[in-house]
Structure 1
Amino acid sequence: METHPDLLDPEWRSRAERDARRGAKKELRQRRKQTPRRRFRRGFRMSRGRRVLVLFLALTVVLLVAATIVVRQLRDTGSGQPPKAAPVPVGVDLDRPYDRTPAATWGEGLAGIIVPPGQAVGDFTAEEVDAAYRKATEAIAAARLGSRALGGDGSELLALLNPNERARLEATLTSAPTVEKGKYLTLIGPNRLLPARPRMIGSLTAKAARKGELIVHASYVTAYAFDVRPGDARSPVDIVPFVRDEEDYMIRKEPSFAKGDAGLGLGDSAGFTSRMACDAIKTGVLAPQYADKGGPVYGAPAVEEAATYDPTKPLPTRDACG
C-alpha cells in the first residue's frame, strides 16, 4: 500500500493531511456543542423576596429613630423650658484669683516686665544703661509693688530719687491719700489684698536725651487681686483691677548736670485704671469694682479692652468711670 501511486504523490499527500485536520476540528466543535457548560457561582445571590424584606426592615429602623427624635423635641418645646446649656463657671477662686482674667499668664511682679540687655545709648555706655534699667525697675517696685507704697508710705520711692527731685515730691508722697499722690503710688484703701502677688506685663526701652541724660521709658500693666466676702463677687474681674502706666525715668549724670540733679528723676507719665471701684479711684485709692457704694456691675466690659491690657497699644482715651 505504501507503493500506491497516490501515496507517492506529494501534492496529494499534502491535500489529504489538510482535509484530515479540518475534519478533526469540525468533530471537536460538534462535541463542545453537545457537552453542557458548568457555571460557577461567584457569590451569594439574594433572592428578590429577601431583598425586599431587608429593605423594608432598614426603612422601619430609620423611621423609628426619626420619630424618637421628633417626639423628644416636641416634649422639650411643650415644657416651655429652653434646652439646658453647659454650666458656666461662677464665682472666684481666692487661691487662684487671676484665673479667667487677662493677667492669668502674666508674670509675678517684676518678672512680667521685659528688660532688654544694655547697649550703649548716646554718651551712656552699655554698663550705664544696664544700671539705668535696674534703677527704673527699683522705682517701679517701690511705687507699685512695695508694701510701704501700698500702705500709703512713699518713703521707699523717695529714697531712690536724686536730691532735688526728692525735695520736689516729698510733700506729695508723704501726705494723706490724694489723687495727686495716687499718680505716683498705688494706694490701697480698706479693701485688703490677697496673698497672691500682683501680676505684671510690660517692657523697658532707653533713648538718649540731652548730653548726660538718658530716658528709660516703662510701659506696663499691673493687676491686683483683692480679698472678697462670699457673695460680693461673681467673677474674677470683680476682684482684679488693672493699672496701666506709661512712665519716663530720667537718669542724669555729672558733670553734665549738677550734683543735686544727678541720679534718678521722674519725667512725663500717664496712666489708666480699669475694673476698679469708681468711688475709690476718685480719691486716689485703688479698690475692686465690687466695692462701689452703688454696687458693682457684674461682668461689665472694660473700656477699650485691647488697649487696657496691652501695653504695646496707645492708652485708652475714654474714662472707665464715665
Structure 2
Amino acid sequence: MSGVGGQDGSSVSDEEWERFLRESVTGAAGAPVEPSARAREVERRLRERPGRPEGWRTYSPARPRRRTGWYVMGLVAALALLVVGLFPQQLAGLFGGDEGGQDGKPLAAESGRPREAPGAGSGLRPTLAEPFRGSPAARWADGAAGITVPPARATGWMDTAQVERALRKSRDFLAAAGLDPRVLRGERPTKAIALLNPHQKDVKAYLRTALSSAEPTEKADPLLLFSRFRPEQARLVGDVVKTRGRLTYREGERAAVEVTADVTFVYPVTSAGEGGQDAEVVRTIVRREVVMSWDDPAKVITEPGTMSLVSYTLDMTNGGCSGPTGYFEPPFGKDGGQSADEDRRVDPYDRSKPIDTGDGTRGDGCASADRS
C-alpha cells in the first residue's frame, strides 16, 4: 500500500492520519465556528440601532399619561355648573348684569313663584330704540306669551278639555284687559267685559262706576283690572309690552274651577307731546293678581264662556301717586310732580312675594321704586 506524501514527499504516519480523521468529525479545539442565523440578525440590528441594546424577549410597558390636569378641569367645570344652577341671578349681577341686557338670553317660562328678585341689570336708561334696556324685562316674553298656562287636568265639575278651555279664556281676559292697544289708549275694554259673568251684580256695579264716572274711587278704579293711559298725556313706545307671570288653578266653591292669575306688565311710554330721539322713556310697571271662578251652570247663574270675579288686586310703579283718576300717569320729568314714600322702597320686578294689598284693593300707598 503506497502512502500519501507531503510537499517534501515525506509520508504521514498512521497515528497522525487517525488524529486528522478524528478532529475532522468532532472539531478541533479553538477552530472558528460560523454564527447562526439568529446571531447574525442580532448583530445586524445592533449595528443599525446605536445605544443600549434591548433584550430579544424583553418588554417595556408604555408610560401612563398624567391626567391630573384634566381631572381638575372637569371638577372645576362641574362646580361652576352647580353654582350657576343654584345662584343664576346673583351671578348675573356680578358679571355685567345680563339680566337686563337687551340681547340677553330669554328667560324660561315662570312655572312657580321665584325664590328671589331678579339680579341687578346694567343700570342703563331706556331709549326709544331700546325701551327695555337696563331692565330685567328685557329678557321677558312679549305680550301674552309671558303668561304661563299650566297643563290641564280634570278638576271640579270640568273634564280636562273644559279646564284647558277655561285656562285659555282666562289668559285671553288678561290679554284683553292689559295688552289690547285700544284699551291702552283709554277705550272701553269690550273684549274683556264679554268674558265676565253678566249676572254678577257686584262686578256690574264696579264696571258701571269705574268706566263711567269722571271720578273713580279706590274700590271702583278701572286700573284694578284694565291698563289705560290718557292718549293726550302718554303714548306707548313701540308695540311691545313685556309680561311675566303664570296661571294656577284648583277646585273652588260648589265644584267651580278657580283660576288665579299673577302677572306683571311692563309698559314703556313717552310723553305724548315730546318728540325726537332724546325723548324721555318711562316704564310703568303693573302687577295684577286676579282670581276667576269658572262656575258650574247647574249651580250658579252664568252664561256659557264667562266667569265670575272672586278678587282683583293691583300694585304699580310709575303710574301716579295721586288719587285714582282711572288712568296711569307716568312721572315724566325729574320727579313728575309726584310724591312717594321714601321710607317704603320696593322692587317692582320682585315676584317672590305676594302683592301687598293693604286695604284689599290696591297697593298700600305709593312707595319709591328701587329701579324701573
Q: Calculate the TM-score normalised by the size of structure 2.
A: 0.54
> 1:272 and 1:89 mapped to 2: Cα distance?
23
Q: Which residue of 2 aligns with 1:175?
A: 212
2:196 counterpart (151, 161, 169)? 161
Task: Trace 1:144-155 onto structure 2 (pairs within 5 A).
Answer: 144-150=178-184, 151-155=186-190
Q: Secondary structure at the match of 1:134?
A: helix
Tell me if structure 1 keeps the 8 A contact 2:126–2:132.
no
Give how far 1:127 is off. Answer: 1.0
Tell me if structure 2 keeps the 8 A contact 1:241–1:289.
no
The 1:193–1:271 alpha-carbon spacing in structure 2 relative to 1, beyond 3 Å, is same
Give how far 1:247 is off. Answer: 0.8
Tell me if structure 2 keeps the 8 A contact 1:253–1:263.
no
Tell me if structure 2 keeps the 8 A contact 1:214–1:252.
yes
Give how far 1:201 is off. Answer: 0.3
List runs of 5+ in structure 1 lacking aligned partners. Answer: 1-87
Tell me if structure 2 keeps the 8 A contact 1:303–1:320.
no
1:256 aligns with 2:299: yes
CA-to-aligned-CA distance 1:244-294 (integer Å, 9 cap, x gap)? 111101111221223459831111121110133324x63231132226642
1:313 aligns with 2:359: no
Q: Percent identity?
A: 24
Q: Secondary structure at the match of 1:110?
A: helix
Give how far 1:100 is off. Answer: 0.5
Q: Secondary structure at the match of 2:265?
A: strand
Q: Which residue of 1 aligns with 2:65?
A: none
Q: Calculate the TM-score normalised by the size of structure 1.
A: 0.61
The worse-fitting range, judged by mean Cα deviation, of 184-193 and 310-319 is 310-319
Tell me if structure 2 keeps the 8 A contact 1:118–1:130.
yes
What's the RMSD between the two structures over aligned residues? 3.0
1:201 aligns with 2:238: no
Task: Trace 1:1-322 onto structure 2 (pairs within 5 A).
Answer: 91-150=125-184, 151-165=186-200, 167-172=204-209, 174-176=211-213, 178-179=216-217, 180-189=221-230, 190-228=233-271, 229=274, 233=280, 239-259=282-302, 263-279=306-322, 282-290=324-332, 293-294=336-337, 303-305=345-347, 308-316=348-356, 318-321=364-367
Tell me if structure 2 keeps the 8 A contact 1:193–1:227.
yes
For 1:319, give the aligned amino acid.
G
Give how far 1:147 is off. Answer: 2.4
For 1:187, give the aligned amino acid.
R
> 1:89 and 1:312 mapped to 2: Cα distance?
21
The 1:261–1:171 alpha-carbon spacing in structure 2 relative to 1, beyond 3 Å, is farther
Determine which structure has the larger helix proportion and give its number: 1
Tell me if structure 2 keeps the 8 A contact 1:253–1:262.
no
> 1:134 and 1:94 mapped to 2: Cα distance?
33
The 1:162–1:89 alpha-carbon spacing in structure 2 relative to 1, beyond 3 Å, is closer
Corresponding pairs, count = 226
> 1:207 and 1:200 mapped to 2: Cα distance?
23
> 2:180 and 2:344 mapped to 1: Cα distance?
26
Give how far 1:91 is off. Answer: 4.8
> 2:124 and 2:136 mapped to 1: Cα distance?
17
Q: Secondary structure at the match of 2:300?
A: coil
The 1:94–1:262 alpha-carbon spacing in structure 2 relative to 1, beyond 3 Å, is closer
List runs of 5+ in structure 2 lacking aligned partners. Answer: 1-121, 359-363
CA-to-aligned-CA distance 1:17-58 (integer Å, 9 cap, x gap)? xxxxxxxxxxxxxxxxxxxxxxxxxxxxxxxxxxxxxxxxxx
